[in-house]
């Protein structure tokens, strides 16, 4: 749509002030290829590199029985500058890391000390619906709730964050999140790097010019997602981490509201993907870069043996295409690794990591299609939909039979915004990508719970639903899109 045509359609003229000039300018360039007003992927927020002088903090680890307190607190995110944040522990923007063994009984009492309702969704865990953190199951201000469940799934990197409808984006952005690591004998038998050689990394972007971390996205920022100019790792802007010249295991979460990262290393060295959302892959895969969208996790091995003491290697995000106007336009640094000691302790990566049986389309009893393109925009809330429906906790959108195997197809073929689609309560396998990148990427084998659907793509996943009954949601994990209504419910019975 040309600018003059938009002015005609909206009834605005040269002297009208109904729509700000910046929005008019944006809309005039925000059309999709057909000339219609698409999802308006918005303008990017450029990232500002820091000086990488602060040591990388490592969140403390805790066990299966504990108490969390959602609270207002303060934390030094950039140097010694204090910021008003939310946290699950005092003086921290992130919660502790749970390290739990398979078959352990977990009991976590959550006290809501905030002035608003909250709850916790245990992203990646297969637990009863009443424990999952459904948007309707909230913890009111000044009250508490005990999350009690048994870990019955394979080893993997999961995470936890609030999920109250229309407040998820704000509460996550302001600091409520943490990692949840499950261990099991299969993974332990691989003798993967551990202790100081296993590094959890929560990557997020914030707007650090505002020490209150104010969250009040404009219409345009709802379209693109709320992007920040400063990249935090484990709650610290521009950190470094001292390493030896040997193999490290990086457990990576994209905990950002909306930003997608194309992870690589500044010296272009390869690294090995050994796991994703649902745990270990069947076999390791060597890559030089990999995309990770909000909600996704990566388990990678990085060999620094070619580096010498005194060398510096950066984890970076490289430019990528196909992510709309707001994403992928800039290379920037995330974390500096400082090699402090030359070692000769080679690690042999196992050729087989796990046993995974691929599912095939012939096993599916039905296919459900979900249109997430959202063609045709309007200047109000509710632009982001699934099958043209907004979230309504009083409506069940899909009913699924226990133990069914189904294909769910996420269709973004007419869209111009990326959508990382997440299904609660289960893992799936990615079958096929049609259009756009037109193929699966290295991290999309094995089991997943979140998959990135770029503009112009259709992604098919195959889902074994099991027998965990109840009401669950599925949604876009761009948290501004989710809060705008891009979430539906399924009932498993």
What gap in Å lies between CA 275 and CA 279, rounded to an integer? 5
Query: What confidence score (pLDDT) does residue 17 get?
Result: 31
The dotted CATH code for 54-188 is 2.60.40.420
Identify the segments of the chain with pLDDT beneath 50. Answer: 1-40
Query: What confidence score (pLDDT) does residue 43 get?
Result: 73
Query: Is the CB of residue 372 less than 8 Å from the CB of residue 389?
Result: no
Query: What confidence score (pLDDT) does residue 9 get?
Result: 32
Query: Is the CB of residue 207 less than 8 Å from the CB of residue 231?
Result: no
Query: What confidence score (pLDDT) does residue 376 get?
Result: 61
Query: What confidence score (pLDDT) does residue 375 get?
Result: 77
Query: What confidence score (pLDDT) does residue 345 get?
Result: 86
Here the tokens at position 50 are 């820091």
Count of other CB atoms within 10 angstroms of residue 480: 25
Query: What confidence score (pLDDT) does residue 42 get?
Result: 62
Query: Is the CB of residue 481 less than 8 Å from the CB of residue 293?
Result: no
For the chain, give every domain's residue range.
Answer: 54-188, 195-341, 361-492
Question: DSSP readout, 253-281?
Answer: EE--SS--EEEEETT---EEEEEETTEEE
From residue 338, how far is each of 169, 242, 271, 308, 313 by CA, in Å? 34, 5, 17, 10, 7
Name the fold adopted by 195-341. Answer: Immunoglobulin-like (2.60.40)
Query: What confidence score (pLDDT) does residue 377 get?
Result: 55
Angle between helices 21-28 and 3-10 (to 10 degrees): 120
Question: DSSP readout, 109-133?
Answer: EEEE-SSS-B--EEET----GGGS-
Average pLDDT, the chain: 91
Query: What confidence score (pLDDT) does residue 418 get?
Result: 97
CATH class of the domain defined by 361-492 = mainly beta
* Helical H segments across 209-252, by residue range: 219-224
From residue 485, how far is each of 226, 384, 400, 405, 458 by CA, in Å? 16, 6, 22, 27, 21
pTM value? 0.92
CATH topology agreement for domains 54-188 and 361-492: yes
SS3 22: helix
Q: Are strands 54-55 and 239-244 parallel, antiparallel or unpaired?
A: parallel
Backbone torsions φ then ψ of 333, nearest 5 degrees: -90, 150
- Provide the 8-state DSSP code for 81: E
Residues in the chain: 493
Query: What confidence score (pLDDT) does residue 211 get?
Result: 97
Query: What confidence score (pLDDT) does residue 379 get?
Result: 56
């Amino acid at each position: 749509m040309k600018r003059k045509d938009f002015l005609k359609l909206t009834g605005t003229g040269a002297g009208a002030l109904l729509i700000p000039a910046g929005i008019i300018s944006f809309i005039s360039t925000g059309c999709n290829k057909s000339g219609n007003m698409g999802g308006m992927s918005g303008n990017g927020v450029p990232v500002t590199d820091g000086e990488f002088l602060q040591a990388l903090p490592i969140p403390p680890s805790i066990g299966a029985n504990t108490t969390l307190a959602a609270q207002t607190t303060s934390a030094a995110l950039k140097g010694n500058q204090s910021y008003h944040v939310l946290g699950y522990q005092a003086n921290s923007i992130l919660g502790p890391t749970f390290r739990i063994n398979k078959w352990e009984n977990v009991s976590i009492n959550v006290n809501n000390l905030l002035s608003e309702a909250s709850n916790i969704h245990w992203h990646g865990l297969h637990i009863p619906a009443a424990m999952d953190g459904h948007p309707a199951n909230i913890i009111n201000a000044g009250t508490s709730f005990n999350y009690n469940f048994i870990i019955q799934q394979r080893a993997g990197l999961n995470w936890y964050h609030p999920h109250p409808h229309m407040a998820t984006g704000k509460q996550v952005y302001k600091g409520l999140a943490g990692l949840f690591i499950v261990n099991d004998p299969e993974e332990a038998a691989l003798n993967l790097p551990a202790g100081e050689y296993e590094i959890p990394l929560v990557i997020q972007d914030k707007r650090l010019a505002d020490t209150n971390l104010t969250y009040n996205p404009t219409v345009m920022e709802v379209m693109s997602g709320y992007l920040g100019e400063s990249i935090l790792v484990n709650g610290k802007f521009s950190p470094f981490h001292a390493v030896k010249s040997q193999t490290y295991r990086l457990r990576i979460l994209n905990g950002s509201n909306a930003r997608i990262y194309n992870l690589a290393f500044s010296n272009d060295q390869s690294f090995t993907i050994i796991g994703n959302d649902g745990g270990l892959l069947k076999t390791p895969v060597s890559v030089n870069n990999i995309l990770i969208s909000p909600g996704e996790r990566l388990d990678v091995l990085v060999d620094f043996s070619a580096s010498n003491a005194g060398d510096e290697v950066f984890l970076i995000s490289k430019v990528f295409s196909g992510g709309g106007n707001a994403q992928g336009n800039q290379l920037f640094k995330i974390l500096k690794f400082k090699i402090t000691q030359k070692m000769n302790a080679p690690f042999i990566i196992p050729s087989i990591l796990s046993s995974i049986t691929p599912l095939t389309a012939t096993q599916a009893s039905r296919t459900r299609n979900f249109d997430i393109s959202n063609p045709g925009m309007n200047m109000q809330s509710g632009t982001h939909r699934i099958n043209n429906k907004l979230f309504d906790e009083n409506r069940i959108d899909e009913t699924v039979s226990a133990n069914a195997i189904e294909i769910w197809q996420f269709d973004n073929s007419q869209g111009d915004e990326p959508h990382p689609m997440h299904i609660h309560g289960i893992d799936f396998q990615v079958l096929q990508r049609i259009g756009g990148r037109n193929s699966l990427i290295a991290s999309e084998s094995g089991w997943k719970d979140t998959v990135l659907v770029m503009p112009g793509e259709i992604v098919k996943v195959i889902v074994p639903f099991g027998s965990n009954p109840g009401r669950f949601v599925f949604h876009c994990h761009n948290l501004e899109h989710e809060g705008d209504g891009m979430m539906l419910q399924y009932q498993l019975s």
